[in-house]
Structure 1
């Protein structure tokens, strides 16, 4: 098993050549609309268990890395009126290098006969449309895919056993909605498990998520990887 770790919304940086589009928009760029608060902090904690990791610190308001090229929200209100050549330049400069690089790495592992578990780290605003969200950690997956369902349910159980967080499956969003993992499932229908971890931003303080939260997720994922190694070792010993 290979763990691929990604973070599509790790920062709110606007490249210098596009700063004029975001003049006096610091408040939005620093909000949950500009990036996933605390997601990069969690990502960096989880990196030691990853076989491959990649993150972006370019604001999702320039281009949304977690949406398909045909999605209506690929470009925000700040960039949607750009000309087609200008949009293509952003796609080629920021979108494709990020996504293509990750896809190539997953392809390499799968061709080697590995199962790839792709963990995409995100965070979400605690209040949406005036309603308080009760979920604290969400695990998003495609419920139609048995291996993703089994992995996510097992990870939820592991997290529950090690913490008091409110863990929910396919909340606050559905894992089968348009996104990077949804795209990758179509490219790799075999030996790919894509799970998005969504963390409530109510825990976010001073540019960090709580140490205990990060360590809990790290230990749970590390436990999965170790169990997989032990299982493969046992099978190998039986064969030889």
Structure 2
């Protein structure tokens, strides 16, 4: 007797366009001036900060670069500092050895290929040591004002919970978002989603009770109220 065919997995229906627009309008109203939380003073220091932020928190990167960026503002100054000097500043950041090597190498590339300037195309950026598409998108968005979307863990999580994407990879989620984000929010969508995920739609304890987009969100396990605080033991 032949086995019955396996049921096909159901694909989640896309959010209506009106709901997507309402979501980003609400996020934008709640956070009208979203921007990166990495500290930087020019395109080069932002590029370095983003390279260092892979698998690290912005807070940790800012702590490590506070004194570094007092001393280093250009690729040549980074080369003058040298590999060991750079490592002494960023030892508290995960993978600091490989990241330091990449920063030194990309500084050499910027001088040799781009006159010491940060290039403004994705193709040129991803050719630099330690720079992937996510890093390139952050730089293009923050420095050059392009409507790019860097999909980090926050954006990936929020997009799935809201119902904007069911993509299995960051690239798939990015494609879904670019196809849906309203044009008026194209520049800010990246930071709106990151900051929403960082401070409200957290991985382990989402604060749904104060979420501005809870009405449209498809996350099944919404928290309707904050967790009760443990009371003092009675005598």
Say which structure is richer in strand: 1
Say which structure is richer in helix: 2
Could you tell me the TM-score, scaled by structure 2's length?
Answer: 0.27
Bigger Rg over Cα? 2
Which gives a bigger RCO, structure 1 or 2 (Cα 8 Å, sep 6+)? 1
Could you tell me the TM-score, scaled by structure 1's length?
Answer: 0.27
